[in-house]
Chains A and B, each alone.
Chain A
Amino acid sequence: MNPGIYVRGKTAFKMYEVALSEASEAQLSEVSRKLGLGLSVQEMQAARAYFKSEGRNATDVELQTISQTWSEHCCHKTFKGKIRVGNKEINSLFKTYIAKATREINPPWCFSVFEDNAGIVKFDKGYGIAAKVETHNHPSAVEPFGGAATGVGGVIRDVLGVWADPIACTDVLGFGPLDYDYSKLPAGVKHPKYVYMGVTAGISAYGNNMGIPTVNGAIYFDDSYTGNVTVYCGCIGLLPLNKFQRNAKPNHVLLLAGGKTGRDGIHGVTFASAELTEESEEVSRPAVQIADPIEEEKLKRGIIEVRDRELASAITDLGGGGLSSAVGETAEKFGCGATVALDKVPLKYQGLAPWELYISESQERMLLAVPPENLDSVMEVFEREDVEATAIGTLTAERRLHLEYLGETVADLDMKFLFDTCESTKTAVIETPRLTEPTFAQPENLSETLMQLLSAPNIASKERVVRTYDHEVKGNTTLKPLQGKYAGPNDAVVLKPLDNSWKGLALSCGMNPNYGKIDAYWMAASAIDEAVRNNLAVGGRRIALLDNFTWGNPEKPERLGSLVSACEACYDVATAFRTPFISGKDSLYNESPLGPVTPTLLITAVGIVPDIRSTVSMDLKASGNLLYLLGETYPELGGSEYYRLKGFIGKSVPKLHATKARRTYYNLTKAMGEGIIKSCHDLSEGGLAVAAAEMAFAGGHGLELDLRPVPNKLVKRNDFLLFSESNSRFLIEVAEQDRSEFEDLIRSKACAPIGKVTKDENLRIHGLDGKVVVDAGLAELRRSWKKTLSMEAQGE
């Protein structure tokens, strides 16, 4: 290494310059590594060319700013760059699949999509709904409580960043098996149980303390999450659309509001864009931020008042990349430059170098652009809430990013260079894993198998965790995550956000990580179908989707190949269903010494319930009612919980017949509108048998079912019919007197009454030969379902 390329700046404070223009390729890599920039050689070359043309050295502040702006986390190189698959070149996965689907569907109710921190759809009475889901995987792996809590805090700020008042949080989590063998745990990987306890506690702490109900979510257990915990945090907000301000201009003041800045969260984004290693703990600990939900609660109050009084012209949150992203992106969005005096930034403690405070990801901070004449009023608002707010700079007409510290220039970058340079070309290979379908005899006692499935971690009740989240605060949760006396698993929650409207908001999600091991295309298609199904099951319609990818290292062609496949599915299914994407986020590089994360796409669905009084829950309502099965059952057990129980993966992953499904969904919605559906439950993990059992023990009514009338596509075994996870299926309870009206509305050959709700507290199912194949008491089924993750089961 040539020490000559690092030059101590002639400043009174600590700053280094790097003589990039003289640097060799090897030195460029060395600089990137040494300063923790995470930039590739090509990117360093671009930086070298820029500083050569400027005829000067680069400062550390400038290099760090470039590093943050060009990081995967901030500029999404993989999703926005070029990808070569065989002879084909995809110019931006995002534009080619995700955004294209939305553009083609082009619904009039989309207000703002993909543009800001969160997507916005129209709701009612002039209000809009903002939605955003984020991942916080890497920080949660290193520090589970703090990582998850700041994940929640971050996504809430995303919603505040579009002037919306947060009204609900969602969370979907992936952990390794809780009984993972300690001796197999590699150095640097924390035990799944520790991670599970910390992450769930972190989520509950942040949402509860801020008073935002955590209403929807899911928990999955999979081996591949052992080294790569997966934490999705979502937030839904409500805003009066006429208060949505986005018109910042030169001379508007950049106001930093909220918490103070410290060394926590340095290099969070470059950390998020790298693989986890044994040293992650030591090297990356500072990359995890410290959460203070009360600070954010106060900040929220101030922001909502500034919004209502229309005092500011723009707002953005400080998330990944800290000030560097917030200042740069605000200036870029409004075609401005910016001048910022970094010494004005309030610090937690002294001693931060200018570059550190510029990229620090300390939490609970927002950046507002304020017309100078409104500055005093805005300051008063924050003062009243005991929130610190500081004018740190202004937007400028000149398109340059100009940073000062104690009167000295520490960065002076051309905005165009900063924002237009970032691009990449990657290579993808689409591989089909070599898998086979297992052969095994049908178990003799299928009641026993059903109990085992109900106890399987991915199916078992998550009540113990859900109850630690306040899902009722704000008093607007009308369909709860847990249904009724027995806490049955509702498919979605319904909120009633406005006091003067009966219109509701249905929130649901879909995720099928196990399918990702077989086929990423069908995994993604199934996730969308599941999210939509869950939403429809409670009465949701006019559904908007959010896509969140958690993937392995995209530099590896086969990982990228599966990402391309999943994106193709997103386009195909969204356009077939006419459900647009409104927001999304990707978390790549989820790899650990145990290998990559299983390709995981979380789909969050935001639906509208035209009148909450027609909401449908999943618990059986009355004996004598009919139970219909809507949708066809195929021998699709690849990746199913049943195969997992038997120790297999298999190959026959569930497919999706999207056009057919859409017709069914349309008719189901019509029947819901007529109010003749007493209960409805989607079929997912564990298939027909698990869904029927859940409806029965949640409602306290028995069921007598027959597999012979099941709309059956070549399934010849009772166990396969009971546990197949074919998509697009529902169980629907209808009163005898509504039979013909229901059948007229559904008008589908793939819909058949398969049994009745009974008085005795038993689930009894007749097999293909008419003999009873499942016969189990509700209490016993309920106990099997509750015992795995619950401490209360023993007392039941």
Chain B
Amino acid sequence: MRREEIKVCVMRVGGTNCDAETKRAFQELGVQAEVLHVNELVKQGNLLDYNVLVFPGGFSFGDYVRSGVIFARSLSVKLGKEIDTFVDEGRPILGICNGFQILVEYGLLPGFEGTSAYPEATLTTNVPQGFKCQWIRLKNENKGKCAFTSKIPAGKVLRMPIAHGEGRFLFPVEKEQQMLQKLVDNDMMVFRYCDENGNVADGKYPTNPNGAFHDIAGICNREGTIFGLMPHPERAMYWWQQPDWTRQKQMAQYGDGKLVFESLIDHLTKKI
């Protein structure tokens, strides 16, 4: 598939609010991207016209109950069939921040045995509690399966901002070691919170900003086609979005967030 043929659907609903900058990031890299309200997609029935589905950040339906759950449930009712086809055909799905929460609530992530009927993990209230907007560092721990990190060397440290109040990734306590093992064994672990030198946080605040189990910031499914992460790659796209650009003599044109989008496009353009 040629780059300019790739069509990205950035899906929104009431409370989605990072759609414009997410679309901009894709467009910057020369692919087609559109923001579509879920009502519009239901009416047109055209979700399958797109090659990539993105759930951007925000507070879908206000997130007054578990973050992402209302959107996930209503989506499975409204567009469940199309989503199933999307997944079965291996079309990539990306969830950023609230989007990650939605993918977990939908059962698409971690998706050890395919889409699960009930969430297998959760993204819950930060420890220490409260919303936090801050640049953090991530270590790429994926060994090559994840389509969204295909161009990022294993072990590379990336910098992106987080902005969330509920980003603490947890498995059910009684199964957490077993599930972690599965995650690692199937190369579903993607990003972990780490320090400047690439040492993972080991649960220590503020390097791990939310108390996430095993410093997990982003994971993918078994096939590596569905990816969710709490940090915002679309806010780390350009040099002028970096927190310390006024200190640098020379800045690279792009920030680390670009690697996520670029990896995906690379993955798709290599597919026949």
Give Cα distance in the complex from A470 to B232, angstroms: 12
Q: Which residues of A lie under 8 Å from residue B254 when comparing CB positions?
A: none
Residues on the B chain within 8 Å of A54, using CB:
none
Asked if A716 is an interface residue, CB under 8 A from chain B, the answer is: no
Tell me if B62 and A621 are in contact (CB < 8 A): no
Task: Determine how close the nearest CB of chain A comes to the CB of B34; give it in whole angstroms.
Answer: 15
Complex contact B163–A294 (CB within 8 A):
no
- Residue in B closest to A791 when the chains form the complex, CB atoms: B128
Q: Which of B250-270 contact A (CB under 8 A)?
A: none
- Indicate if the CB atoms of B246 and A297 lie closer than 8 Å: no
Tell me, yes or no, whether A22 is within 8 Å of chain B by CB: no
Contact A209 to B62, CB < 8 A, known contacts A386-B39, A468-B130, A469-B133: yes
Interchain CA distance A723-B241 in the complex, whole Å: 35
Does chain B have a CB within 8 A of A692? no
Of the candidates A295, A470, A616, A795, the one whose C-beta lies within 8 Å of that of B163 is: A470
**Please, what's the 1-or-0 string for A655-669, where 1 marks a CB less than 8 Å from any CB in chain B?**
000000000000000
Q: Which residues of B contact A292 (CB under 8 A)?
A: 62
Residues of A within 8 Å of B21, CB to CB, are 474-476
For the complex, is A136 an interface residue (Cβ under 8 Å from B)? Answer: no
Select the stretch in A10-18, A479-487, A586-594 that faces chain B.
A479-487
Q: How many Å from the CB of A480 to the closest CB on chain B?
A: 6
- Contact partner of B246 (CB less than 8 A), chosen from A211, A470, A615, is A615
Name the A residues within 8 Å of B235 (CB-CB). Answer: 472-473, 475
Interface size class of A (residues with CB under 8 A): 35 or more
Which residues does chain A contribute within 8 Å of B234, judged by CB atoms?
475
* Cβ–Cβ contact B62 & A293, under 8 A: yes
The secondary structure that dominates the A interface is: loop
Partner of B244, one of A386, A473, A485: A485
- Chain B count of residues within 8 A CB distance of the other chain: 38
Q: A472-B235, A474-B20, A795-B205 are in contact. Are A297 and B15 (CB under 8 A)?
A: yes
Contact of A468 with B132 in the complex, beta carbons under 8 Å: yes
Closest chain B residue, CB of each to CB of A477: B241
The contact string, 1 if C-beta is below 8 Å from chain A, for chain B 22-64, is 0010000000000001011000000000000000011101110
In the complex, what residues of A have CB within 8 A of residue B90's CB? none
* A386 and B14 contact, CB distance less than 8 A: yes
**Nearest CB in chain B: distance from A524 CB, A:** 32
**A 374-386 to B, binary, CB cutoff 8 A, 1 in contact else 0:** 0000000000111
Closest to A792 in B: B206
Contacts of B37 in A (CB 8 A): 384-385
Which chain B positions have C-beta within 8 A of A484? 243-244, 247
CB of B17 closer than 8 Å to a CB of A: yes
Whether B130 lies near A294 (C-beta < 8 A) is: no
> Contact check: which of A209, A468, A699 meets B59 at CB < 8 Å?
A209
Contact B59 A294 (CB under 8 A): yes
Known contacts A294-B14, A475-B235, A616-B246, A468 near B133 by CB under 8 Å: yes
* Cβ-based interface call for A499 (8 A): yes
The residue in chain B whose Cβ has the minimal distance to the Cβ of A496 is B240
Give the shortest distance, in Å, between A180 (CB) and chain B (any CB): 23
* Residues in B lying within 8 Å of A, measured CB to CB: 14-18, 20-21, 24, 37, 39-40, 57-59, 61-63, 128, 130-134, 161, 163, 205-206, 232, 234-235, 237, 240-241, 243-247
Given A208-B131, A467-B131, A472-B235, 20 more A-B residue pairs with CB atoms under 8 Å apart are A204-B131, A209-B17, A292-B62, A294-B62, A385-B37, A468-B132, A469-B133, A470-B163, A472-B241, A473-B235, A475-B18, A475-B24, A475-B232, A475-B234, A476-B21, A478-B241, A496-B240, A619-B247, A699-B247, A795-B205
